[in-house]
Structure 1
Amino acid sequence: MRCRIEKIFGPWKRSYGLRRMRWLGLAKAALQVRLTAIAYNMKRTAVILRMPEAA
């Protein structure tokens, strides 16, 4: 179970800059995490569907 969850945080930290929070405050930090999750899921969906525009 741990491997499935921690596999996601590697790309988030490397590609999306989540080593540190950009904004101060819990609400703003939560927004950053949500936006990162949306971006990650959109990119992953494009790869799964093999859309050539995703690259």
Structure 2
Amino acid sequence: MCDQAYPKKLSFQYFEDLKNEFEHVNGAQIKTAARPYAFIKFENQEIVPGYSY
């Protein structure tokens, strides 16, 4: 998923931050989603800049 030289701790932290942001934005709608791709519009571009290596 990422370059071998990228620190493991940062890659796991990225996914944790992504999960938290997703839950913050869509938390109330997760249990009521009627289709598998209901959240395809979710963008992680706000999180990505903090993780450039």
TM-score when normalising by structure 1: 0.40
Structure ranking higher in helix proportion = 1
Name the TM-score, length of structure 2 as normaliser: 0.41
Q: Higher relative CO (CA 8 A, sep ≥ 6), structure 1 or 2?
A: 2
